[in-house]
Amino acid sequence: MYFVFVAPAILLAMWAQYRLRSTFALAQQQPAPMSGAAAARYVLDSAGLTDVGIEQVPGELSDHYDPREKVLRLSQNVYGAHSLAAVGVAAHEAGHAIQDARRYAPLVIRNLAVPMANFGSSICWVLLMLGFVMQAPKLMLLGIILFGGVVLFQIINLPVEFDASARAKAELVNLGVIQPNQRVYVDKMLNAAALTYVAATLESVLILLYYVMQFM
């Protein structure tokens, strides 16, 4: 029954990962006038964020913005690559830095929820399993509440990611980093990336509903 519940989300997640990798590979083949790091620097400087740093980190699609250190961390395939994939991903992460500087409300809420989400994700499964095995409704209910906090965090994160992608698409064209006819490659890649977040959130929602039904 558990797998029947979550199967639609798992299939969507598999499709989303396939779409992300295929669209990223396609965008990698399209040249860009500057590297991912240079594009991120251009977007940040144009927004007045000259104090935000840019670093290269190992891994594939490991790109992220660290709001505590005020640093964009770009993977090797993005940092030095002169491709539409690189500038698209870099501009997306720069979008998060702009959100942080502008105090974008969903991002502020998401950052405040990070400690709760980290704590909940680390202990909720233990409480849920113990609740099942020991037939302890209170433990199971506590696990459901903590996992519900994780799901809430994921839901809050969706508009943050969507907005960062929208900012990236607009800035790349407005600043002349890419031509309007090249935007289709960036759009497809960032839309596929957004779909992975939607799939992960849907999976968590379905899992939460499953455990709620088991508890009831």
Predicted confidence band of residue 119 (pLDDT cuts 50, 70, 90): confident
A 10 A CB-CB count for 146 gives 21
93 is catalytic: yes
Please report, to the nearest 10 degrees, the dihedral formed by the alpha carbons of residues 209, 210, 214, 215 taken in order. Answer: -30
pLDDT of 5-40, one tens digit each?
788 888 988 999 999 999 999 999 999 999 999 999
Residue type, 121: S
pLDDT digits 0-9 by tens, 85-116? 999 999 999 999 999 999 999 999 988 888 88
Burial letters 184-195, b for 16+ CB under 10 A, else e: ebbbbbbebbbb
The torsion angles phi and psi of 57, rounded to 5 degrees, stand at -130, 155
Q: pLDDT grade, residue 191 (50/70/90)?
A: very high
Query: Which pLDDT value is given to residue 162?
Result: 95
Neighbours of 203 (CB within 10 A): 20
- In this predicted structure, what is the pLDDT of residue 194? 92
Q: Compare 215 and 199 and report the one with higher pLDDT.
A: 199
Q: Using H for helix, E for strand and C for coil, what is the string for 144-199?
A: HHHHHHHHHHHHHHHHHHHHHHHHHHHHHHHCCCCCHHHHHHHHHHHHHHHHHHHH
pTM (2 d.p.): 0.88
Helix (H, G, I), strand (E, B) or coil at 46: helix
**pLDDT at residue 102, rounded to an integer:** 92
Task: Summarize pLDDT for 159-171 with one digit per residue, the tens.
Answer: 999 999 999 999 9
* pLDDT classification of 197: cutoffs 50, 70, 90: very high
The one catalytic residue among 93, 161, 171, 203: 93
Tokens in use for 14?
């598999």
Residue 32 has what pLDDT?
93
Q: What is the pLDDT of residue 140?
A: 86
